[in-house]
Every structure is written in C-alpha cells, then in structure tokens.
Structure 1
Amino acid sequence: MHSYIYEISKRFRQSKQQDSYISFVSKSSTAGITLGCAILILLLSVMNGFEHELRTKLLKVVPHAEIFAINSEGLKINKSYIAGIENDARVEHVFLLNKATGLLQAGKNMKAVSLVGVDESYINYKFSDKALYSKLQMHENAIVLGTKILSELEVSVGDKIQILLPASTQDLSFQAPKTAWLQVVGSISLGGELDKQLGLVNKAMLANLLDLQNNVSHIEIMLKDPFEAYSLVREYGYNFDQAAYMSDWTRTNGHLYQDIQLIRTVVYIVLALVIAVASFNIVSSLVMSVKERSKEIAILKTIGSSNQDIANIFVLKGLYHGVKGALWGSVIGVLLALFLADIIQAIEFIFNTKLFSSDIYFTRVIPSKLNVIDVAFTVGLVLFISICSTLYPAMKAAGIKPAANLH
C-alpha cells in the first residue's frame, strides 16, 4: 500500500501541458526553501565563528574577573586569600598585576593607553609570542604597544615616548602628573579595540612609577568557564578584607557576546519566516494541483482508495519539494560555511576591496564554525514547515466527492 501511494504521488508530480504553471510554482517553492536553508546554515555558522573567536581570542586576553584598588596605595597581598582563589576548581590562573591608565606623548601626538605591568607567567599564558617578555627585559623602561597605537602616534620600534600618569591626592586637589620616558621595543596585534589601547611594561617598573612598594593594583582571575565570572568575582570580592572594586568581562566586553546572541536569534526568526513564506508556495501549488487532479482523485476513490490514502498522496507530493529544498540547501550552506574564508578572499582579490576590517572586530577574517546540530535543526525546521504546508491541501483532496467530479 505504501508503494502504491508513493507511485501515485510520483505520477502526480509529473508535469502535463495544462499544469505547467503549477510546476513553476512548485519549483519556485523548492528554490525558496533551498535559499533560505542555505543562508540560515551559513549565518548560524558565522555566529558560531564569532562566538568561538570571542572565547579563544578576546577572552584569552581580557581579564575574566578583577579585584582592584580604590586608591593609589594598592592592594596588600594576603597569601592565604590568593591561595584560596587558586585552589578553586573553577579558576585556571590568578595574576597579581599593576595597571594604570595614562597618556602617551610622542611629539605633538597624544594617545590614551591602558598600561599593564606584566611578568613572565602573564606573557606566557596570554600571548603566543614567547619572545615578548625578553623584549621587555631589553630595557629598564621598555614598552610594547598595540599596532594601532604606534600608527596613531607615528612612532616605530626603537623610538622613545613619554608617559603621563595622573597623580591623585587626598583632598582632590590638582597635582602634576607622574612622567617617565619609555622606549618602544615591540608591538602586538590582537585585533579590534585592544590594538588601540593596550601597552605592556615591566611589572616592577610600573610599581615604582605608581609608588606601590610591595602592593599591587589588580588581582586578575582567569576562569575555565568565563561565563562563571559574574558570580565568582562577587563571591570573592565580598569576602576581601580591604575596600576594593570588583569587575568582570561581562561588564566591560559583555555587549559583544550579547550582540552575537541577539543577531543569532534575529537571523533565525527572519530566515525561518523566509522559509515559511517559500513553503506557502507549496500550499498554492497543491491546492491548484488538487483542483487540476480532481477527476483522477475521484477515480482513485471509486477503485477503493480511502480518504487517508488520498491525503497521504498529497502530503508526500508536497513533502517532496520540502525534502529537495532542505537537501540542496543544507549541501550549499555547508559548503559555503566550510569555504567562507576562501570565498571572501577571492571576492576581495577580484574587486580589490576590503569586506572585513580588523580595526572594528576582534578577528581579522569573517569566522565560520559549522555545527552539525545547527544543520540538523535547520533541516528539521524546513521539514516541519513543509509538512504543515501540505495538511490543508491534503484535507481538501481527501474531501473530494467522486460522484460530483465524475459527472
């Protein structure tokens, strides 16, 4: 019986001269489903790529959680407190750092910079350039700057620049800034805004410049799961024995992750609607096909076909277009997602243009990370919408009266 329904459905799909328009509508629905499915898989892969880059690049550099001093005296180091954080199963690493926000001056050019006083363990953990720390050891007042800072200040490696750090007073009166001459010994390129604001110096040199003595300005915590930062920093911050500020990456860079999730949701809703609109063509073509094939349906009923058999024939006929669209769409979407970087490079080469700027984003290329679950869910969504689109025409076909149509 199942093969009988399949054969009749296959026969009904074959175009006749009088139903060429129905065939055109059916093919357009397949094309629309294919396009929507392919674009949905591609854009979800791009969103996955951005999220992967966020986790592996940006969140590798920016602190997951921080406890930092509220004044220029810094934080006194409590070894038992630090050991408690380090022994937490959620924590991957704890750094005792000195940080300051200052103003770099090179001739008439000036640029704000976030200075981080680092040690060897910090460099080895966060940066792939193993020679970076040795560069900082070349000179007592050495500094490594982001590439965009060097460009804006119009300086290069080997030049000397002046750093100006604000000096705070108890009575909030103005005081001359602390100044020092630094020699540029290298550059780093991390992508996005980090290249425009980050500067690395020796931890001890910055401590002397800030007059911290044996204290530090920041306790930086890196976690195994960055999304636990919000709760963890408050857990340890509230138990800290000094007055201090606390912060986490969701406050400083969380908008990037929220934007990715928002775009993912909007993309899914919009393209699901596009697929639904394309599936409406299945409804139109099947309704017209039911009307065109009414005599054949009446004959099938007179030879013993039940209403359920007739309905199944048209469900299968409409589902064919959904399956075909989902199959072609998934193949095209997967290929585009896998070779997106090469396609973008080819377009940029042919048209001599730049489609993606690393000045804005934290990655140098449009990332793409294919997820099998996204492909399966998209195909499932297409098939579900396609099945729903066949129900009304199938019921109309099942309700045809043989006597009225054979008269």
Structure 2
Amino acid sequence: MPLSTLLAWRLARGKRQNGLTAFMSASSTIGIAIGCFALIVILSVMNGFERELRNNLLAVIPHGEFTAVQDAGLADWQATMASMLKDPAVTFMQPVIKVTGLLQQANQLKAVQIQAVSAPLAKDSPSLAGHDLQAWPAFAANPHSILLGESLKQTLDVKAGDSLQLLLPQVADDGRFLAPKSVWLTVAGSISLNSQVDAHLAMMHLDYAAELLAISEGVKGLQLYFSDPFDAPRKVREIGNQMHQMVYMSDWTRTQGDLYQDILLVRQVVYVVLTLVIAVACFNIVSAQIMAVSDKQAEIAMLMTMGAGQGLIMRTFVYQGLINGAIGTLLGAGFGAVLSLYLSDVARWFEKISGTRLLSGDVYFIDFLPSQLQLADVIVTVIIALLLTLLATLYPAVRAARLNPTEVLGH
C-alpha cells in the first residue's frame, strides 16, 4: 500500500481526532450518503413513471393521428393507409371518425367523444391487446351498438342490452344551432383498460357514424401506433408532410404531453437540487480537512523534516477526504439502489398499514408508486459525488502541503 494511502487511512480512522473535526467529518459522510440515497430513489421513481407512461397510458391511446380538413372526409384513405403501413416504424393503423355529443340514460347525461371504428380492425388495436374483450362479439354483431369504458358505464348506470340516446349537435349554414339529432344505440357491454381512459372511452361503428355525420368518404381520419411512441412527434410530421390532402396532424404529446414534460421537469429539478445537497455536504469536508490540517501541523512538519515532499502531503489529505466521501457515496448509493428495487412493495405495505393511498387512480394514470432502477443513474450519481468530494479536498490538501515546518516546529 502506498505511504500516502496508509497515512490517509490512519488520519481518517484515527482515534485522536479533535471532537469537532470528527463531527464535521462524520456529518459530511452522512450528508453525502443522504444526498446519493435520495437522488437514486427519486430518479428511480421518475423512471418508473416514464415506464408506466409508455406501457400503460401510451399503450391505450393513439400515438399519432391525421384528420381531414374537408367535411367530406379523407379521400382514398385505403391507399393512404396501405402506403403508411410500409413504414417500419408504424406498427398499427386504423380509420376513425370522432363523434362528439351527449349520451343520455334516464336523467344521466355525459358529454363524450365517441371513437367510431371498424370492428374487425379495431379488435387488433394495441390499445385493446391483453384486455378482456367478452363484449366485443356483441358489439361487432350489431351495427347500431356502442361499447363503453367501465368507468363511463358505471357513471351512466347502464348494463349490456340497455338503450342509450345519443344527441348530436346540429348547426345551420348561417351558424345557428338547430335542434340536436337524436339516435338510439344499444349498449353491447363494457371494456376496461385499467386507466383513466375508461372514464371517457366509447366506441361505435364506423359506417353508422359516417352515415350520421354525412361523411361521404366514410372516414374522417387515421390513427397510428409507432414502435417507439417517443418518436411520434417527428414521425407524424414526416408522414403528414407527404400526404396529398390537407389534414390536421396530431400526436400524443398534444393531449398527454404535459404529463411527460412534468416527469422530465421533475427529473431535472431533482438532479439540480440533490446535486446541490451533495455539494453542501462536501463543504463540510473542506471544513473538516482544514481543521484536520490545523490539528496535525506538528505531525505534517515532522514528516517534511523526515523527507516527505509536498506531493506526498497533498495526496495524503486528498485521499483522506476521498475516503470519507467514498464511504458516504457507497452507503447512500447502496441503500438507495436496494430501496429502489423494492420501493413499490414498500409503498404497498405502507398503504396497507396506514390505510391511505399514495396515488389515486382517479387522479393519476396509475394507482401505485412505480420504481425502475437504472444502472446509469447509480453510476452518474457515484461519479458526481466523488468528483465533488475530490474538488472539496484540493484546497485543504494544498494548504497542508504549503506548511513551513520551520515555523511550525519553531513554535
């Protein structure tokens, strides 16, 4: 073991330290540990939210959509759809018409935007994959039926076989509102996507919607799903600019982008704030090192008179500070990584014993606390903490190396 490392270890673990010096050294180690622990845990939670956003919410909503500007609908949509499906980034497409109106059952009224879909195509949609589709045969068999999200079905207090009245707004050529068009639809059943989408989900048949809204082309728009939903904004613009008909282009970031931006913002704020917490803890290393240099002036002077150079003295105090910083970093990173792996289970246990919910499914798109530990976050956190520790040790180490042994021993 190099002499500087041995001296640093004896200084760091020595029992003859000044009480205040020992306290400052311990507090810096604890502060760095807490900062690393909190940074890794919170970053893992943000990773978990991003994972659930991708696998939960983005699995049940379209990643991109093209809507015809003309009231007649999207011309030659079959050829357009076939052309878009040749793009390897596009995993699924379906024609849609969005029907905005009021659903009425007895005294219950609910404003909805119904998705009119082609039953044979929609069944294979990624949004329905892995979900219970028991009501789908009844929906596909009746062209005048409607399929409701489970939460919407409960709000309207209906069951399979009931009739629902759909009120569609009517506007005259001069802009005056006319009496709404009223049609009756049969409830085919419900479908649960286990997300907040259930409160607004309603499906009807494409052909019937085109007839009600007088869409001569039979389709108002096309919905797309991509292999990478986070690439949707770029791909939507790229594909839309190649279309020969005027369309409105939209992607999931326009409707759910605030949620994703919030996750990114929290991640950035956490990085800044907790890095500053680690930096503040490193300031304690500066204080502890300066006090240690003052306490050990005589020992340093004697080492210099015995032939120790400034480089040896400087390395000794740098290593001493790094030992304290490394201990705090490894403890914080270790405990943070372990907790991140089991955070969801710990959160469920806490909810069980406390009787409270940390996240409500009625407010958020998930009802549990997610966590996903990423090795890159641990590595970056450890590197940041060690770099800040190294910077904190430089000034006290230089100060120790510049001591004049003649002046120290002369007193």
Classify the TM-score, shorter chain.
Answer: over 0.9
Q: 1:31 to 1:84 in 2, by over 3 A?
A: same
State the match for 1:282 in structure 2.
Answer: 285
> Among 117, 128, 131, which residue is 1:129 paired with?
131
Contact 1:142 1:201 in 2 (8 A): yes
User: Following TM superposition, where does structure 1 have runs of at least 4 consecutive aligned residues deviating by more than 6 angstroms?
Assistant: none
Deviates more, 1:12-21 or 1:32-41: 12-21
Q: Name the residue aligned to 1:294.
A: 297
| TM-score scaled by length of structure 2 | 0.92
Residue 13 of structure 1: aligned partner? 12
Which moves more between the two structures, 339-348 or 154-163?
154-163
Please name the residue that 1:27 is paired with: 26
Is contact 1:72–1:168 with CA below 8 Å preserved after alignment?
A: no
Q: Given residue 355 of structure 1, which amino acid in structure 2 is its aligned partner? A: L
Shift of 1:272: 0.2
Using the alignment, how far apart are the partners of 1:212 and 1:83 within structure 2? 21
| Structure 1 residue ranges without an equivalent (≥5) | none
CA drift of 1:169 comes to 4.0
In the superposition, relative to structure 1, how do residues 140 and 290 fare at CA in structure 2: closer, same or farther (>3 Å)?
same
Instruction: Report deviation, 1:85.
Output: 1.1
Equivalent residues in 2 for 1:325-336, closer than 5 Å: 325-336=328-339
CA distance in structure 2 between the partners assigned to 1:14 and 1:190 by the alignment: 58
Change (3 A) 1:371 1:391: same
SS at the partner of 1:339? helix
Mapping of residues 197-236 of structure 1, within 5 Å:
197-212=200-215, 215-236=218-239
Which consecutive unaligned segments of at least 5 residues does structure 2 have?
A: none
Give the C-alpha shift of residue 213 in structure 1. 5.2
> Which stretch of the first structure deviates more once superposed, 58-67 or 317-326?
58-67
Contact map agreement 1:66 1:221 (CA 8 A) in 2:
yes
After TM superposition, the structure 1 = structure 2 runs for residues 231-380 of structure 1, keeping only pairs within 5 Å, are 231-380=234-383
> If the length of structure 1 is used for normalisation, what is the TM-score?
0.93
The one-letter amino acid paired with 1:343 is V
CA-based RMSD of the aligned residues comes to 2.2
Deviations, residues 136-185 of structure 1 (Å, cap 9, x unaligned): 23644333323332343344555433222223443323222222233334
Question: Any conservation in 1 of the 2:359–2:366 contact (CA below 8 Å)?
Answer: no
Once residues 17 and 56 of structure 2 are traced to their aligned partners in structure 1, the CA distance between those partners, rounded to angstroms, is 60
How big is the shift at 1:216? 0.6
- How far apart are the structure 1 equivalents of 2:8 and 2:17? 18
Preserved contact between residue 191 and residue 358 of structure 1 (Cα < 8 Å): no
CA distance in 2, matches of 1:20, 1:87: 73
Deviations 1:167-212 (A, max 9, x none): 3443323222222233334333445542222212233333333343
What's the CA shift string for 1:308-335, capped at 9, x where partnerless? Answer: 1111111111101111111111111111
| Other-structure match for 2:116 | 117
